[in-house]
């Protein structure tokens, strides 16, 4: 999809900071700034590298200060809010911002200063810690033009704050060693310090400076969310490209739209930031851009989706599939810019990010990676880094793993993998039956109970000190939906009657104990407390697993209840607005945000399950009018999603939105399971209507 923003979107710097772009490299590294090119969060960066994929990340370059000097007069093109100094307001020269994911995957800014036009593009290289900038300048008025680019450097890990009191002299700039591997010839240089090495390749001229603090940046989006709102950066060099005033050569500013009627010259200034050296050539950046374009075209070629939304979500989902160095396999980043790769999030995201996108080898690698770490029937919710032990506090991830394995086998027809993985699946089932860590155990009625004390085992896992806003201890509805389906998976893979018999017992108990006759929907958790009858979105997964337990009549009632009390165009509320514990808005200090996190806040990923439940119900519906009504509802809902792809992070779906009337995204501006589950819904819809 093509996303274009114009001056009406940044009539003030505050407005221009609300939306952003995201580029990723398949290693956990990324590039993200606002649509006016400002860092509005401490976690935003022009170049965030992955020292160890995917979550040992290094914040090298926050932004660049760009000065366009025309006939001796400086014009600053950078937009950046500051704590004490005057804000940089380059957005006043910005004519448009364009991001076209179907073309180059390179966000582009067009600046106009008098009759000098500058177009800036950014591209990130897949599977390398490299981000490249290209500036194209059109000088139709034969002015004396110079461009000065000063990187605003941080050189810290992603989680650290730059120490303004440190010795700035440690940051050194050296010309790259010219050898057969990286023949710089003065075009490549390196900045070293604080354990980091940043290589810069350019056709501009290096101007070294004494390292000095640039000033404290102000992060408006972090202040809004109750996070640290200021951060330091430093400078130690600039790059200057002097175009002079030569404009005798006829040329075309846009190669796709030649126009020789004007006397003009196009100048290309390239700057490549990388964790490894590059030898500069005039075609280097063009090759990087073209390679990325071809890679993304291949992603689209291997999926069977025709809609613009579906094809866009395929490309959006690519941001989350990453390498994991510690396991020598693949994984899924949960969300940008805050999260790492987690077991639960990976399993929920797996079908959307890998299976229906045709990335079956990556899918298999991810499943094999998690299988290696199964302990007492549980999957890591957080992977080990260094000498740290994995965290296994998830009651849903192992059951989702079993269902994901089944879905993969159904698509890939991989019988050898089935034989390889089957002992792991049976181990998980046995541990759930007999009892394992975190009070996870099958009760006498066949249902799974989990949790006690301050344990957080479902996705509604917030803890505020010694208080759990949503403890959900007991028998959570979605855990038991996953459990039944997992038992049926084992029956289908092994043909052992014991799994089918236990599944039948679970189904009978589930229908008897979870049905809320008064509300005509499913209870959220069997606990004996007030949370038992709260109207929450977790019931929707009882309708979307590979194997389900409810009658068509009850499925229709669940869909109606969810639509009436939880549905929004971008997600499902986590709690009914009629509940006294409902929170309208997600904002403020962390404690306030945590109390609202699962108490009404809208989450995007359950909406995918809602649409899939509607589609599945419609497929089996004998009432033609009802079938067409349900189909139309899903079609309209998916069409409305296109609008949300323009809000927050361009071409992405965020983690959460306010619960009352969602208009602004919150939390991670790009979330794996949000994109993945909505992509699954699009896939199911297109399959249904085809």
At residue 367, does pLDDT exceed 90? Answer: yes
Instruction: Give burial (CB, 10 Å; 0-12/13-18/19+) of 391.
Output: middle
User: Can you name the residues that pair with 97 across neighbouring β-strands?
Assistant: 5, 109
Q: Is residue 456 part of a domain?
A: no
Q: What is the CATH number of the domain that holds 13?
A: 2.70.98
Q: Is residue 529 part of a domain?
A: no
At residue 530, does pLDDT exceed 90? Answer: no
Q: Is residue 353 part of a domain?
A: no
Put residue 358 in one of left, alpha, beta given phi > 0 → left and psi -120 to 50 → alpha: left
Answer whether 0.85 is exceeded by the pTM: yes
Q: Is residue 290 part of a domain?
A: yes
Confidence (pLDDT) at 470: 92
- Domain boundary (295, 314, 343) is at 295
Angle at 373 between CA 502 and CA 26, to 5 degrees: 115
Angle at 98 between CA 92 and CA 102, to 5 degrees: 175
At residue 141, does pLDDT exceed 90? Answer: no
Contact assessment for residue 468 and residue 462, using Cβ atoms and an 8 Å cutoff: yes
Q: Is residue 217 part of a domain?
A: yes
User: Can you name the residues that pair with 450 across neighbouring β-strands?
Assistant: 474
Total domains, the chain: 2
- Domain boundary (295, 330, 359) is at 295
At residue 587, does pLDDT exceed 90? Answer: no
Beta-carbon count within 10 A of 78 CB: 19
Q: How far apart are CA 301 and CA 299, in angstroms?
A: 6
CA dihedral 556, 557, 559, 564 (to 10 degrees): 140
At residue 182, does pLDDT exceed 50? Answer: no
Q: What is the mean pLDDT of residues 19-31?
A: 98
Beta-carbon count within 10 A of 142 CB: 15
CA distances from 11 to 170, 624, 637 (A): 41, 50, 31
Band the pLDDT of 201: cuts 50, 70, 90.
Answer: very high
At residue 310, does pLDDT exceed 60? Answer: yes
What tokens does 585 get? 């808005």
What tokens does 328 get? 């020598």
User: Can you name the residues that pair with 150 across neighbouring β-strands?
Assistant: 65
Task: Give the pLDDT confidence of 433-447 residue by residue, as tens digits.
Answer: 999 999 999 999 999
Band the pLDDT of 101: cuts 50, 70, 90.
Answer: confident
Contact assessment for residue 154 and residue 59, using Cβ atoms and an 8 Å cutoff: yes
- Give 640-647's long-range contacts (Cβ < 8 A, gap of 24+): 640/569, 641/309, 641/569, 641/570, 641/678, 642/1, 642/308, 642/309, 643/569, 644/569, 644/570, 645/1, 645/3, 645/312, 645/316, 646/3, 646/19, 647/19
Band the pLDDT of 19: cuts 50, 70, 90.
Answer: very high
Look at residue 592 and give its three-state secondary structure. Answer: helix
User: Can you name the residues that pair with 234 across neighbouring β-strands?
Assistant: 153, 213
Task: Give the pLDDT confidence of 241-270 residue by residue, as tens digits.
Answer: 998 876 644 333 444 444 444 445 567 899
Q: How far apart are CA 539 and CA 541, in angstroms?
A: 5
Q: Which domain holds residue 616?
A: 566-690
Q: How far apart are CA 274 and CA 632, in angstroms?
A: 48
Q: Is residue 130 part of a domain?
A: yes
At residue 155, does pLDDT exceed 60? Answer: yes
Contact assessment for residue 411 and residue 442, using Cβ atoms and an 8 Å cutoff: no
Q: Is residue 541 part of a domain?
A: no
Please indicate whether residue 318 or residue 106 has the higher confidence score (pLDDT).
Answer: 318
What tokens does 254 get? 């846009």
Look at residue 681 and give its three-state secondary structure. Answer: helix
- Domain boundary (280, 295, 310) is at 295
The secondary element (H helix, E strand) that includes residue 672 is: helix 672-689
User: Can you name the residues that pair with 47 across neighbouring β-strands?
Assistant: 61
Please indicate whether residue 177 or residue 238 has the higher confidence score (pLDDT).
Answer: 238
What tokens does 162 get? 């730059």
Q: What is the mean pLDDT of residues 131-153?
A: 94
Q: What is the mean pLDDT of residues 367-391?
A: 86
Confidence (pLDDT) at 266: 65
Q: Is residue 385 part of a domain?
A: no
> Hunting for tokens 């006690």 — which residue is that?
452
As a whole number, the mean pLDDT across the chain is 93
DSSP state of 450: B
Beta-carbon count within 10 A of 647 CB: 19
Band the pLDDT of 651: cuts 50, 70, 90.
Answer: very high
Band the pLDDT of 8: cuts 50, 70, 90.
Answer: very high
Strands 670-671 and 665-666: unpaired
Q: What is the mean pLDDT of residues 473-479?
A: 98
Instruction: Give burial (CB, 10 Å; 0-12/13-18/19+) of 11.
Output: exposed
Confidence (pLDDT) at 390: 85
Evaluate the CA torsion angle 465, 572, 330, 333 in order and state its sign.
negative
């Amino acid at each position: 999809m093509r996303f274009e923003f114009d001056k009406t979107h940044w009539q003030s710097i505050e407005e221009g900071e609300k939306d952003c772009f995201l580029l990723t490299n398949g290693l956990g590294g990324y590039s993200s700034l606002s649509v006016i090119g400002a860092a509005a969060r401490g976690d935003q960066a022009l170049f965030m590298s992955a020292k160890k994929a995917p979550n040992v990340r290094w914040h090298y370059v926050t932004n660049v200060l760009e000065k366009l000097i025309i006939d001796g007069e400086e014009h600053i093109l950078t937009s950046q809010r500051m704590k004490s100094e005057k804000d940089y307001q380059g957005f006043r020269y910005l004519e448009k911002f364009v991001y076209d994911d179907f073309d180059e995957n390179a966000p582009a800014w067009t600046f106009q200063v008098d009759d000098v036009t500058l177009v800036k593009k950014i591209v990130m290289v897949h599977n390398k810690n490299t981000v490249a900038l290209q500036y194209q300048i059109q000088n139709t008025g034969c002015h004396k033009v110079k461009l000065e680019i000063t990187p605003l450097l941080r050189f810290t890990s992603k989680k650290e704050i730059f120490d303004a009191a440190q010795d700035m002299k440690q940051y050194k700039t050296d010309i790259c060693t010219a050898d057969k591997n990286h023949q710089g010839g003065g075009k490549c240089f390196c900045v070293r310090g604080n354990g980091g090495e940043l290589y810069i390749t350019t056709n501009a001229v290096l101007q070294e400076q004494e390292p000095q603090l640039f000033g404290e940046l102000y992060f408006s989006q972090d202040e809004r969310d109750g996070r640290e709102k200021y951060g330091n950066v430093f400078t130690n060099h600039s790059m200057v490209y002097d175009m002079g005033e030569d404009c005798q050569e006829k040329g075309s500013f846009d190669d796709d739209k030649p126009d020789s009627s004007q006397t003009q010259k196009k100048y290309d200034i390239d700057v490549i930031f990388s964790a490894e050296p590059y030898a500069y050539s005039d075609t280097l950046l063009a090759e990087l851009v073209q390679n990325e374009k071809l890679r993304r075209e291949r992603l689209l070629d291997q999926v069977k989706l025709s809609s613009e939304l579906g094809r866009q979500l395929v490309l959006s989902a690519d941001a989350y599939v990453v390498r994991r160095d510690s396991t020598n396999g693949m994984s899924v980043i949960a969300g940008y810019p805050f999260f790492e790769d987690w077991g639960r999030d990976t399993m929920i995201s797996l079908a959307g990010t890998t299976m229906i996108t045709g990335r079956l080898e990556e899918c298999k690698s991810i499943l094999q990676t998690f299988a290696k770490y199964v302990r007492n029937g549980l999957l890591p919710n957080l992977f080990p880094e260094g000498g740290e032990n994995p965290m296994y506090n998830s009651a849903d991830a192992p059951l989702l793993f079993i269902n994901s394995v089944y879905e993969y086998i159904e698509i890939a027809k991989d019988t050898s993998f089935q034989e390889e993985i089957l002992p792991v699946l049976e181990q998980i089932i046995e541990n759930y039956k007999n009892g394992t860590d975190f009070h996870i155990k099958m009760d006498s009625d066949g249902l799974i109970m989990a949790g006690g004390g301050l344990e957080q085992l479902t996705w509604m896992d917030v803890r505020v000190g010694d208080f759990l806003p949503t403890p959900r201890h007991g028998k959570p509805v979605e855990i038991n939906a996953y459990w039944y389906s997992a038992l049926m998976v084992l029956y289908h893979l092994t043909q052992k009657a014991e799994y089918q018999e236990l599944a039948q017992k679970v189904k009978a108990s589930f229908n008897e104990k979870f049905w809320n006759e008064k509300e005509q929907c499913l209870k959220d958790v069997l606990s004996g407390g007030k949370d038992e009858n709260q109207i929450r979105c977790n019931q929707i997964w009882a309708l979307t697993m590979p194997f389900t337990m409810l009658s068509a009549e009850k499925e229709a009632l669940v869909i109606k209840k969810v639509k009436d009390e939880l549905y929004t165009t971008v997600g499902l509320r986590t709690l009914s607005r009629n509940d006294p514990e409902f929170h309208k808005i997600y904002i403020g200090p962390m404690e306030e945000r945590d109390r609202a996190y699962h108490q009404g806040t809208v989450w995007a990923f359950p909406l995918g399950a809602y649409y899939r439940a509607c589609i599945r119900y419609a497929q089996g519906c004998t009432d033609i009018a009802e079938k067409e009504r349900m189909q139309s509802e899903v079609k309209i809902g998916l069409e409305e999603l296109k609008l949300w792809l323009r809000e927050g992070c361009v071409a992405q779906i965020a983690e959460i939105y306010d619960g009352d009337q969602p208009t602004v995204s919150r939390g991670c501006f790009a979330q794996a399971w949000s994109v993945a589950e909505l992509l699954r819904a699009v896939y199911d819809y297109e399959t249904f209507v085809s």
